[in-house]
């Protein structure tokens, strides 16, 4: 229970965020994977920077989970020096390879992409950042 409580505290603000008050990109809510992918595929635009902010937020939340619940518990073990640009490229590639996930929440797409790109285990000897 002591490990679950910090995760719940971090995720609590998201519980009240409904579709109706979510920011929109065109006609799709930001938290939908397809809308997030549109932002992430833009180069040198305001949308790309919003994508990077979203990716940084999800990545930081995963780091916080690992810090509070134990290294690797989020299923993501990014090597030291991994750039946000690399995270963005991995998310875009994963989304293209998994089109069935584009109707899900953007955070689900990002977490799934990062778990595939940077898995924890014997092959990944990365340390907490």
Domains with residue ranges and CATH for the chain: 30-129 (1.10.890.40)
Question: Which residues contact residue 38 at a Cβ distance below 8 angstroms, ignoring those fewer than 6 apart?
Answer: 25, 26, 28, 47
Two tokens at 52?
């990077």
- Are the beta carbons of 114 and 87 closer than 8 angstroms? yes
Q: How far apart are CA 16 and CA 12, in angstroms?
A: 8
H/E element, 7: helix 4-15
Mean pLDDT, the chain, integer: 76
Whole-Å CA distances, 121 to 61, 73, 111, 125: 20, 11, 17, 7
pLDDT tens digits, one per residue of 14-59: 444 444 444 544 444 456 898 899 999 998 889 999 999 999 999 9
pTM over 0.75: no
């Amino acid at each position: 229970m002591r490990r679950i409580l910090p995760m719940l505290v971090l995720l609590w603000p998201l519980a009240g965020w409904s579709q109706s008050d979510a920011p929109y990109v065109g006609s799709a809510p930001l938290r939908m994977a397809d809308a997030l992918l549109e932002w992430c595929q833009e180069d040198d635009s305001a949308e790309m920077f919003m994508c990077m902010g979203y990716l940084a937020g999800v990545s930081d939340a995963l780091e916080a989970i690992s810090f509070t619940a134990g290294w690797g518990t989020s299923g993501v073990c990014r090597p030291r020096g991994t750039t946000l640009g690399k995270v963005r490229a991995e998310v875009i590639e994963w989304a293209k390879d998994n089109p069935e996930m584009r109707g899900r929440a953007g955070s689900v797409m990002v977490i799934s992409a990062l778990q595939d790109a940077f898995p924890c285990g014997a092959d990944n000897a990365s340390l907490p950042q």
